[in-house]
Structure 1
Amino acid sequence: MQSSRVTLADVARKAGVSRTAASFVLSGRTDMRIAAATRQRVLDTAAELGYRPNLTARGLRTNVTGVIGLISDTIATTPYAGEVIRGALDTAREHDRLVLVAETSDDHEIEHGLIQQMLDRSVDAFLYASMFTQEREPPALLRDYPVVLLNCMATSFSAPTVVPDEIRAGHTAARALLDAGHTDGIHVIGGRHDTVTTPGGVVAGRERMRGIETELRKAGTGPASVIECAWHVPDHGYRAVSDLLGERRPSALICMNDRLAFGVYQALQEHHLRVPEDVSVISFDDSDLASWLRPALTSVALPHYELGRTAVTLLTEPEHGRSLLRVPMPLRSRASVAPPASFS
């Protein structure tokens, strides 16, 4: 049968000291004169008995439990974005914190209930996270607690915010093509994600396009066309490029995510065009698709792990925080970008 939990009183009794002295030693306090030999005896006794402090009781005294609640829409059940959670867990462990993860499926009633349950279990800080960068308003229930917004932004909720640097990512993608010699015939597939259901586009689309257009403009050029479509299935990329190839042959294609690029590869193959010998292709996100495609796809990576890591750091080290922190998106150079065919 498992033994009962070792208490502070057990340690004090076996070490032959008062409970107060044992508490001072085990909490690391130095404002009470305790002989070095006595201090070491208490530490040795605690180790021998397997003593661990009662964090729940400590939390009641200090109002700090070190438990972080991560509330997300669908991150937890998405293998790709799950790196956000791993980054948060690893960093929390480094700071001796615990993370509780809950998923709302974007249901406000479920969200309210989960947050209340976390508060009932003494969670004292929150990461409010989203699967993709978007504008979201956290519930008023969180206003009295430390909160970091992770991959989302709010207009009426003041909190440190961690998002991918999508604007710089757009610059990076355009610069990769410019450095390869492409100046004309650069087409963007997906654009701002300006569709019937997302009029005006999504945050990532608007910011990536801003970076792309600015970088190309600096080089005295611009996109030959921007084909707006939803990003979530390869078929949209396939259709967009199939229609484009009925009119003209591009020099390079910027796909707004890897799924679109998968469809783009199929369309190019059907038209007997090779990547990158005939058409260069670059994308965003760096999902598993990017390395599986042949030739392997050059993609600007979403920094999922670093997003989670940075968000927990802002919670545990708030003095280093900023109101908005954009995490860099690195370029994963592979085999899908080459000089224009006329340069070869």
Structure 2
Amino acid sequence: MNRRARVRDIAEAAGVSIATVSRVLNDHVNVAPRTRELVLRAMARSGADAPGRTGRRTVHVRCPYLLTDYFGLIVSSIAETLRLHGVRMVLDAGVAAQHDDVLSTLPDEPDVDAAILVLPPEDGDRLVALARRGFPFVVADPRTAPPPDVASVSAAHLAGARALTAHLVGLGHRDIGVIAGPVEWLAGDARTAGHHAALAQAGVLPARHRVHHVEPTAAEGLRAASALLDEPRRPTAIVCFNDKLAAGALQAAHDRGLRVPRDLSVAGFDDIDLSRATRPALTTVRQPLQEMGRIAVTQLMRVLDGHRPEALHLELSTTLVVRDSTGPVPT
């Protein structure tokens, strides 16, 4: 077949999307019997060959961010795992991709069988609309709470943040500043909840003025930590919701002649390479970023093979990593 031209013709004749025709051609099981019959009849009228495997599957991987150490680890793991499954990957990455209307056009791509969406900026309604078109996809590291019928995988953010703050509370800290990410992000909201839970267990009420919501960069961490440390009564510890923010907080402490951890404890989240390169090395929470990519592919392969995952939303455990940037509360 002249695949692209013929698939488009068959889709028009059957009144379905190009992606649906592609799935019938590849003999995927996640096509409704009535829809499959419509496509087969259109194929018969056009003289096309009967369906069967026409080649390797292709998965569209969308990560509309810079592929730095955080996103790079997730995407690299996805790529390696897809290769083990014999699946081709089409990568759509970079900040500019945030403004592309990809979700509405994905089901009409004739050579794309499924997708993995990494921290998609679109809201839940857009994801539901994509799912209702019968297009298989999985969300890795969702930005907002995933809809009920959308498969996703993330880290256990709440438990990780609770363990980190509990570690500081155990060192005697009660006045803890927080440098969080953007508001209304699933990870940030869950980490804030975990932080508050650890404080509540110690009988400490959280102080709203100690929480700063910023973009997750070292420069924003420096700015927010500077504001916390310039208050008349500075906190004894600062929890940052990623390691880059924590690197900025370390710089703010150094600029003010504060010794970490003797005068101030600083902690991060993610355990990227930067956390081991700072001086002192960062206490942080390790996210299983590579495992997140592998599990996303595993979920997607099960969907493509016709299985409905029993656990649609998977949370992978985190690990508290204690290094040199946290210590007892100053006396």
* TM norm structure 2: 0.71
Q: Tell me, in whole angstroms, the C-alpha distance in 1 between the residues paired with 2:201 and 2:314.
A: 25
Residue of structure 1 equivalent to 2:312: 323
Q: Tell me, in whole angstroms, the C-alpha distance in 1 between the residues paired with 2:194 and 2:165.
A: 8
**Distance change (3 Å), C-alpha of 1:239 and 1:259:** same
Answering whether residue 44 of structure 2 is matched by residue 72 of structure 1, we say no
What's the % identity of the aligned pairs? 29
Residue of structure 2 equivalent to 1:202: 185
Answering whether residue 101 of structure 2 is matched by residue 109 of structure 1, we say yes
Q: What is the 5 A alignment of 1:9-88?
A: 60-62=51-53, 65-74=56-65, 77-88=67-78
Question: Aligned-pair distance for 1:120?
Answer: 1.6
SS of 1:120's equivalent?
A: coil
8 Å contact 1:64–1:124 — kept in the other structure?
no
Letter in 1 for 2:100: H
Q: Tell me, in whole angstroms, the C-alpha distance in 1 between the residues paired with 2:271 and 2:151.
A: 26
Answering whether residue 161 of structure 2 is matched by residue 170 of structure 1, we say yes
Residue of structure 2 equivalent to 1:338: 327
Question: Aligned-pair distance for 1:128?
Answer: 2.2
8 Å contact 1:174–1:212 — kept in the other structure?
yes
**Distance change (3 Å), C-alpha of 1:74 and 1:276:** same
Q: Tell me, in whole angstroms, the C-alpha distance in 2 between the residues paired with 1:184 and 1:120.
A: 57
Q: Tell me, in whole angstroms, the C-alpha distance in 2 between the residues paired with 1:336 and 1:134.
A: 37
8 Å contact 1:137–1:155 — kept in the other structure?
no
Q: What is the 5 A alignment of 1:76-225?
A: 77-103=67-93, 105-109=97-101, 112-113=104-105, 115=106, 119-121=109-111, 123-130=112-119, 137-138=126-127, 140=129, 143-152=133-142, 153=144, 158-179=149-170, 181-190=171-180, 193-194=182-183, 201-224=184-207, 225=209
In structure 1, list runs of 5 or more residues that go unmatched. 1-57, 195-200
Letter in 1 for 2:295: T
Cα distance per residue 1:118-164 (max 9 Å; x no partner): x322x322212227897572384553132212222566683211122
Q: Tell me, in whole angstroms, the C-alpha distance in 2 between the residues paired with 1:132 and 1:226.
A: 28
Greater displacement, 202-211 / 58-67 = 58-67
**Distance change (3 Å), C-alpha of 1:133 and 1:286:** farther
SS of 1:148's equivalent?
A: strand
Residue of structure 1 equivalent to 2:6: none
8 Å contact 1:229–1:236 — kept in the other structure?
no
Greater displacement, 277-286 / 328-337 = 328-337
**Distance change (3 Å), C-alpha of 1:238 and 1:59:** farther
267, 280, 288: which is aligned to 2:273? 288
Q: Tell me, in whole angstroms, the C-alpha distance in 2 between the residues paired with 1:79 and 1:265.
A: 20
Question: Aligned-pair distance for 1:281?
Answer: 0.9
8 Å contact 1:112–1:139 — kept in the other structure?
no
RMSD between superposed Cα atoms in Å: 3.2
Q: Tell me, in whole angstroms, the C-alpha distance in 2 between the residues paired with 1:136 and 1:269.
A: 45
In structure 2, list runs of 5 or more residues that go unmatched. 1-48
Letter in 1 for 2:64: D
Cα distance per residue 1:165-187 (max 9 Å; x no partner): 211121121122133x2242222
SS of 1:137's equivalent?
A: helix
Letter in 1 for 2:116: L
**Distance change (3 Å), C-alpha of 1:219 and 1:145:** same
SS of 2:216's equivalent?
A: coil
**Distance change (3 Å), C-alpha of 1:264 and 1:132:** farther
Question: Aligned-pair distance for 1:323?
Answer: 1.7
261, 283, 297: which is aligned to 1:276? 261
Letter in 2 for 1:128: L
Answering whether residue 304 of structure 2 is matched by residue 314 of structure 1, we say no
Q: Tell me, in whole angstroms, the C-alpha distance in 2 between the residues paired with 1:184 and 1:141.
A: 46
* TM norm structure 1: 0.69
8 Å contact 1:286–1:301 — kept in the other structure?
yes
8 Å contact 1:233–1:260 — kept in the other structure?
yes
**Distance change (3 Å), C-alpha of 1:125 and 1:294:** same
Residue of structure 1 equivalent to 2:216: 232
Q: Tell me, in whole angstroms, the C-alpha distance in 2 between the residues paired with 1:193 and 1:235.
A: 14
**Distance change (3 Å), C-alpha of 1:127 and 1:164:** same
Residue of structure 2 equivalent to 1:260: 245
Q: Tell me, in whole angstroms, the C-alpha distance in 2 between the residues paired with 1:134 and 1:248.
A: 40
Letter in 2 for 1:137: R
8 Å contact 2:267–2:325 — kept in the other structure?
yes
8 Å contact 2:128–2:150 — kept in the other structure?
no
